[in-house]
Amino acid sequence: MTTDPGTALFAERPWFAANEILAFVVELAALACLSWWGFTVGDSRSLHILLGLGVPLTAIVLWSLFAAPKARLRPGLPVVLLVKTVVLGGGAAAVYGVGYPLAAVVMAVVVVANTAVAETLRRTVPVRPVGPDGATGSPESG
């Protein structure tokens, strides 16, 4: 049996783990879509390169500062959701911008559903028994 609390939590909550994996895939897809859009917008080659690299790098910086699980500046939920909306919603908007409106809608639906489930599951961590007498580790027990 593993003693890592994070691994144990994933083993106890497989749907949580699956949703976290999906969240990571969605984040990577959003970055790829932002880059795709950046490399296609505008007329000049230098603008393509600037936006194709700059937009996803800006998204990475925003994400790492505010929305990542181990963010440097962990603000409240409204700011985290705002950053997620800008980055993940920006990815869906980028897909629309390159000419795939149906794919953009699908991506937006997946982003909203995944984020809603993730934020809900992160705030409902199960209470595990801690001692031989069956006492729980919850604040209510003691």
Helix (H, G, I), strand (E, B) or coil at 42: coil
124/77: higher pLDDT: 77
Taking 70 as the threshold, does the pLDDT of residue 112 lie above it? yes
Model pLDDT, residue 71: 86
Confidence bin at 22 (pLDDT 50/70/90)? very high
Residue 55, SS3 per DSSP: helix
Q: Which residues pair with 129 in a beta bridge?
A: 136
Summarize the confidence of residues 74-82 as an average pLDDT: 88
Cα separation of 53 and 50, whole Å? 6
Mean pLDDT confidence for 12-16 = 78
Structure-token pair, residue 127: 């209470």
Stretch among 10-19, 43-52, 53-62 having the lowest mean pLDDT: 10-19
- 27, 64, 77, 141 from 68: Cα distances, Å: 10, 5, 12, 32
- First and final C-alpha spacing in the chain: 28
For residue 74, what pLDDT is reported? Answer: 80
